[in-house]
Amino acid sequence: MPELDPAGLTVLGAGVAGLAVAAELADRGVAVAVVDRGGGPGPHACSWWAGGMLAPFCEGENAEEPVVRLGREAADWWQRHAGTVRRDGTLVVALGRDRAGLDCFARRTERHEAVDAAGIAALEPDLAGRFRAGLFFRDEARLDPRATLSAIRARLATRGVAIRAGETAEGAVIDCRGLAARDALADLRGVKGEMLVLRCPDVALTRTVRLLHPRIPLYVVPRGDGVYMVGATTIEAGERGRITARSLLEMLTAAYALHPAFGEAEVVEIGVDARPAFRDNLPRIRRRGRRIYVNGLYRHGFLLAPAMARMAADLVMGGERPEVMDEDRPER
Ligand SMILES: Cc1cc2nc3c(=O)[nH]c(=O)nc-3n(C[C@H](O)[C@H](O)[C@H](O)COP(=O)(O)OP(=O)(O)OC[C@H]3O[C@@H](n4cnc5c(N)ncnc54)[C@H](O)[C@@H]3O)c2cc1C
């Protein structure tokens, strides 16, 4: 297998995966270049539309063990590299008729404490009297994806790592092109996610709140100044640019169920993108000659990029074989 030359490495793609890999390599003294077809992170990257939840324990409801374990590295890593992390936990609530859903969520996840109506009111006074029971995941965190991408980009620039606009690179490459890498990774698929940004100064939530609902599970992430990211759908489709009336209706209905004041919110933004995912929704590192692919971050871009970057950098430096590395079979 050809050697990778750490002196001439290019990271292709400046979404969350690419920027995390570049930062991790820069930490280890590698002179890395970053090339992105959009010139840097922006609305063309899936990372732009993320909620920014660093919620490994809640994600354990649906995700497999590696996501929960590797995701626990994320908050400290982002705090060190971007300084944008808020460690205020996640509150999970369910409407009265969906109490069974809460019990099921509790059984499938760890590191939570049960909270009653008084506990919910103490954590989130604006939800007082609205929910009888919930779960509080004290150890979870969040960040603002756009502020974080911009902060890590700025920190990379101070270390001499600028982002160049372009679509190709010669030599050794770490390919972090997200869904665009489908041209080389035949088993990569898109999973559509739709989100909203609402301005609702009449609601003052201070942390991520998840509403369990049999059909419309919802999360609301505060961005400050009465602005909330509300998301997100998870639909088996690679399409990136169109929200359906149904998704819009359902997300707004769920937000209204969380707090009726959301009925008066201003819709600031509607976002749609497709998450890059492999069949089992777990991330992968693959090597093909002088190219290393870091991809398949699915719903967990910010959550898993630090662990993926650590493992990709280990591989480049000739260290341990990443646990998420699989054999490359290009025909897949
Ligand atoms: C609605 C929604 C909510 C989400 N919420 C969360 C969340 O709360 N927490 C979480 O951890 N994750 C979340 N995610 C998932 C997360 O956004 C993705 O896992 C992540 O963005 C994937 O990152 P990436 O860097 O692999 O791809 P991208 O962000 O798409 O970046 C790929 C980059 O590669 C560039 N590129 C493409 N082709 C080329 C080329 N030929 N040459 C150069 N550059 C190229 C693109 O311009 C782009 O900048 C969410 C996703 C969605 C859609």
What are 94's strand-pairing partners?
A: 212
Sign, Cα dihedral of 105, 109, 112, 113: positive
Q: Does ligand 1 lie within 6 Å of residue 46's CB atom?
A: yes
Q: Is 277 in the pocket of ligand 1 (CB under 6 A)?
A: no
Q: Is 284 in the pocket of ligand 1 (CB under 6 A)?
A: no
Nearest CA to ligand 1 atom 2: 50
What pLDDT is recorded for position 331?
57
In contact, 292 and 22? CB cutoff 8 Å: no
Token pair listed for 246: 């149904």
Tell me, using a 6 A CB cutoff, whether residue 193 lines ligand 1.
Answer: yes
Q: What is the Cα–Cα distance from 44 to 171, expressed in whole angstroms?
A: 25
Residue 170 Cα to ligand 1 middle (Å): 23
Which ligand 1 atom sits nearest the alpha carbon of residue 17?
A: 25
The model's pLDDT over 147-157, given as tens digits with 9 standing for 90+, comes to 999 999 999 99
Residue nearest to atom 27 of ligand 1 (CA): 178
Angle at 196 between CA 18 and CA 64, to 5 degrees: 55
Q: What is the structure's pLDDT at 330?
A: 64
Does the beta carbon of 176 sit less than 6 angstroms from any atom of ligand 1?
yes
Centre of ligand 1 from the C-alpha of residue 48, in Å: 7
Q: Ligand 1 atom 18: the closest Cα is on which residue?
A: 301
User: Which of the listed residues 24, 35, 37, 47 should we mutate to test ligand 1's pocket, taking the one with most ligand atoms within 8 A of CB?
Assistant: 47
Distance, CA 316 to ligand 1 centroid (Å)? Answer: 22
Q: What's the confidence (pLDDT) of residue 2?
A: 55
The residue nearest atom 42 of ligand 1, judged by CA position, is 167
Q: What is the pLDDT of residues 312-331, one digit of tens each?
A: 999 999 888 999 998 766 65
Task: Give the pLDDT score at 1.
Answer: 46
CA of 122 to the centre of ligand 1 (A): 36
* Residue spans of beta strands (DSSP E) within the chain: 9-12, 32-36, 53-54, 90-94, 113-116, 133-137, 141-142, 163-165, 173-175, 189-199, 208-212, 218-224, 227-231, 266-277, 284-288, 291-295
Closest-lying ligand 1 atom to the alpha carbon of residue 297: 19
| Mean confidence (pLDDT) of the chain | 95
Instruction: Report yes or no: 57 and 111 within 8 Å, Cβ to Cβ.
Output: yes
Which residues of the chain, if any, have pLDDT below 70? 1-3, 328-332
Query: Model pTM?
Result: 0.96
Q: Are 94 and 211 in contact (CB under 8 A)?
A: yes
Nearest residue to 159 via CA among 60, 257, 25, 14: 25
Place of tokens 């103490």: 122
134 CB near ligand 1 (under 6 Å): no
Indicate whether residue 61 lines ligand 1 (CB < 6 A). no
- Report yes or no: 57 and 112 within 8 Å, Cβ to Cβ: yes
